[in-house]
Amino acid sequence: MTDQIDTAPDQDDEDDFGLPPRLFDDVLDAVEAGDRAALEALLEPLHAADIADLLEQIEMRDRRALLDLWSDALNGEVLSELDDNLREELLRTLPPEQLARAVRELESDDVVDLVEDLDQDRQEALLGALPAHERAAVEKALAYPDYSAGRLMQVEVVRAPQHWSVGEAIDFLRHGEGLPDQFYHVILVDPRMHPVGYVGLGRILSSGRQVRLQDLTEDSFRTFHVEDEEGAVAYAFNQYHLISAPVVDDEDRLVGVITIDDAMNVLGEELGEDMMRLGGVAGEAVMSDSVRETTRQRLPWLAVNLATAIIASGVIALFEETIGALVALAVLMPIVASMGGNAGTQSLTVAVRAIATRDLTTKNLWRVIRREAAVGLINGAVFAVVMGLVGLFWFGSPMLGTVIAVAMVINLVIAGLSGVLVPVVLDRLGADPALASGTFVTTVTDVVGFFAFLGLASVVLL
């Protein structure tokens, strides 16, 4: 990634593709001066995604002033690009007629994306602004489950009877009304509207008019069901390098098409969410979230962590007398727990990622468990030697060094094993392995670490 924070001139090159800091200043100057023409001149050439970024990054009062000055900045495309929370906030304040104008510009899947999180009333109001046929398409999509292929697809499809030739397809496309903005394949259907194959536009263009479409169909052809999970769709797009794929209903009839940009979005979101969950943050945390929203995302996990930290403290409390007799134990015990927690997090991070990419299955689970145990043993042995020496030289006690060394090996092996087993078991139970594993694993390593170290010490040293 290019350096984005640095604003030194030599770094601020064209490779950045981000928004030039100067633009922010110019926009804010125009807003402060109330100069609508200048503001329009600055924003008009920008891509909707960049305008959305700008709106996300400026202060709330500047955002209000900007939209008061030139409310057209918030058109349909910009709305589609905004962070969810900020979008909801702005949708609440937007006058109904402007909202209606904004949604009329969008394709059906973008409208679905825009309205699916709104409450019933606002959804109704927004849908009422659409032409009847588009409203029907959006309502149909909303009837599919959240995060399904049906929500993700666009209903505008380009299809052709399977017996057509290249020439017939080109003639059809030349006279076709309402073709989607972007399409990459012509989907071949049988008389009952079942998709039977597809032909990339490149193949159509590079073949003679008389060639039959059927002879040009591509191997990569795969269909999705409307109720397939969007995560599974994104996985398949990535695994099989798909560009677009038809979506079918229960009767296997063609009802829509998913394109790679939608799949890429989902893939990015799912990976980002897994990362957040591993970091103990609930939901899609973004920079434009408010203090209230941010607290809501973080407090629950901290509460769970507090409960598990108290359990670990309970283990320490069992050995109060031992610690009273040898305070060096209190000094060294966090080291064993911390090393275990880190080794567990490493193992866990790799396992969660592999479960998501379907690279950790029943077929290699046993091998991975053996590997984690072996790695835990090796790392444990290395750091056992180091800590043994620390115990010896810092506190002058060979036995204290031995105790911490043995506890280190035990905890790093347990860390490696629990780092794999906890997410696998959670996944098998239907829970999200990214969300809950961290707490379980660090609880295990804290408890095992304190218990092994203090327990051994109480037996050996006193």
Per-residue binding letters, 188-217, with a second copy (x by CB under 8 A): ------------xxx-xxxxx---------
Residue 457 gets which letter from DSSP?
H
The minimum distance between CB 121 and a second copy, in angstroms, equals 30
The minimum distance between CB 125 and a second copy, in angstroms, equals 28
Report the site for a second copy in 365-404 (rule: CB under 8 A).
Answer: 365, 367-368, 371-372, 374-375, 378-379, 382-383, 386-387, 390
The minimum distance between CB 370 and a second copy, in angstroms, equals 8
Applying CB under 8 A, which of residues 360, 406, 407, 417 lies at the interface with a second copy? 360
Applying CB under 8 A, which of residues 261, 389, 393, 460 lies at the interface with a second copy? 261
The minimum distance between CB 236 and a second copy, in angstroms, equals 5
Q: Does 161 bind a second copy (CB under 8 A)?
A: no
Which residue, 196 or 365, has its beta carbon nearer to a second copy? Answer: 365
The minimum distance between CB 34 and a second copy, in angstroms, equals 21
Give the whole-angstrom CA distance, residue 3 versus residue 16. 8
The minimum distance between CB 66 and a second copy, in angstroms, equals 14
Q: How many residues bind a second copy (CB under 8 A)?
A: 147
Applying CB under 8 A, which of residues 228, 254, 384, 417 lies at the interface with a second copy? 228
Q: What separation in angstroms does the CA of 422 have from each of 200, 254, 340, 380, 383?
A: 44, 41, 15, 20, 24
Give the whole-angstrom CA distance, residue 63 versus residue 424. 45
The minimum distance between CB 332 and a second copy, in angstroms, equals 6
Applying CB under 8 A, which of residues 75, 123, 338, 397 lies at the interface with a second copy? 338
Q: Does 168 bind a second copy (CB under 8 A)?
A: no
Q: Does 268 bind a second copy (CB under 8 A)?
A: yes
Applying CB under 8 A, which of residues 267, 384, 405, 457 lies at the interface with a second copy? 267
Contact 129/99 with Cβ under 8 angstroms?
yes
Amino acid at 415: A
Give the whole-angstrom CA distance, residue 454 versus residue 446. 12
Cα of first residue to Cα of last residue in the chain, in angstroms, is 55
DSSP H stretches of helix in 34-107: 36-43, 48-57, 60-69, 76-81, 84-93, 96-104
Applying CB under 8 A, which of residues 36, 44, 105, 240 lies at the interface with a second copy? 240
Contact 150/227 with Cβ under 8 angstroms?
yes
Q: Does 92 bind a second copy (CB under 8 A)?
A: no
Q: Does 105 bind a second copy (CB under 8 A)?
A: no
Q: Does 4 bind a second copy (CB under 8 A)?
A: yes
Applying CB under 8 A, which of residues 66, 155, 343, 452 lies at the interface with a second copy? 343
Contact 259/29 with Cβ under 8 angstroms?
no
* Per-residue tokens: 48: 């909707």
Contact 446/344 with Cβ under 8 angstroms?
no
Q: How far is CA 210 from the centre of its chain?
A: 46
Applying CB under 8 A, which of residues 33, 179, 385, 460 lies at the interface with a second copy? 179
The minimum distance between CB 147 and a second copy, in angstroms, equals 10
Q: Does 6 bind a second copy (CB under 8 A)?
A: yes
Q: Does 22 bind a second copy (CB under 8 A)?
A: no
**Beta-bridge mates of residue 395:** none
The minimum distance between CB 263 and a second copy, in angstroms, equals 8
Q: Does 37 bind a second copy (CB under 8 A)?
A: no
**Beta-bridge mates of residue 248:** 225, 254
Amino acid at 134: E
169 — phi, psi (to 5°)? -65, -45
The minimum distance between CB 70 and a second copy, in angstroms, equals 19
Q: Does 317 bind a second copy (CB under 8 A)?
A: yes
The minimum distance between CB 270 and a second copy, in angstroms, equals 7
Give the whole-angstrom CA distance, residue 234 versus residue 258. 10
Give the whole-angstrom CA distance, residue 323 versus residue 356. 43
449 — phi, psi (to 5°)? -60, -50
Contact 209/229 with Cβ under 8 angstroms?
no
Closest CA to 454 of 337, 290, 376: 337
Which residue, 57 or 98, has its beta carbon nearer to a second copy? Answer: 57
Residue where the block lists tokens 């599919």: 144
